[in-house]
Amino acid sequence: MSVPPAAFLAAGTILFVIGLVGALLKRNALSIFLSIELMMNAVNLLFLTYGRMRGDPSSHVIVFFVIAIAAAEAAVGLAVFVALFRSRQTIEVDRVNLLKW
């Protein structure tokens, strides 16, 4: 017996919305970052589901690429947070708002 694709699609969509809400509402940069990771994995899940529905294995390849790039991006992002914390003693995004007119 197999799980129907609709369940995967529903799970992926729910995960994406949770990630989106988290990214928009959280103040801590790390939390935002985690939310973004969550959105990315939700997208991966949806992508694989659609690939499976189409019977197309190449979706796995692309998802691996996304995971690899996400890992690199996580490293860069965390390094930015460390540097930011060293200079401002906070990673609250509401207090890092110098990039404006």
Partner 1 sequence: MTSLWWIPVLPLLGFVVNGAVALASSSRRARRGERGGPLPYGERLFHGLVGVGTVGASGVLAFAALVPWTQQSLAGGALPVVETVFRWMFAGDFSVDVAFRLDALSALMLSFVTFVGTLIHLYSVGYMQEEEGYGRYFAFLNLFMFAMLTLVLGANLPVLFIGWEGVGLCSYLLIGYYYDKDFAVAAGKKAFVVNRVGDVGFVLGIFGVLALFGTTDFSFLEAARHQIVSDTAPLSVYAVCLLLFLGACGKSAQVPLYVWLPDAMAGPTPVSALIHAATMVTAGVYLVARTSTVFVLAPDAMTLVAWVGAGTAIFAATIGLAQNDIKKVLAYSTVSQLGYMFLACGVGAFAAGMFHVFTHAFFKACLFLGSGSVIHAMHHEQDMRKMGGLAPRVPQTFRTMLVATLAISGIVPLAGFFSKDQILGSVAAAGQWTLYAVGVLTAAMTAFYMFRLVRMTFAGEFRGTHEQEHHVHESPATMTVPLWILAAGSAVAGFIWVPFGVSSLLPRFLAPALAEVPEHEMSHGAELGLMALSLGAAIAGIALAVRWYTGRPAPEHAAHKPAEEIVVSPAAAAFCERTGALGTMIKNKWNVDEGIEAVVLGPFRSIGRFLWKGFDALFIDGIANASAFLVELTGDLLRFFTTGNVRNYALGFTLGVLFLVAYALFR
Q: What does the binding site for partner 1 look like in residue numbers (CB under 8 A)?
A: 20, 23-25, 27, 32, 93-94, 96-101
Handedness of CA 38, 41, 47, 51 (dihedral sign): negative
In whole angstroms, how close is the CB of 33 to partner 1 at the nearest point?
11
Q: State which residue, 28 or 59, has the beta carbon closest to partner 1.
A: 28
Closest distance to partner 1 from the beta carbon of 44 (Å)? 18
Which residue is associated with the tokens 């729910």? 14
In three state form, how does the secondary structure of 30-65 look?
HHHHHHHHHHHHHHHHHHHHHHHHHCCCHHHHHHHH
Q: Using the minimum distance from each CB to partner 1, give the nearer residue, 60 or 95.
A: 95
Q: How far is the CB of 18 from partner 1 (least distance, A)?
A: 14
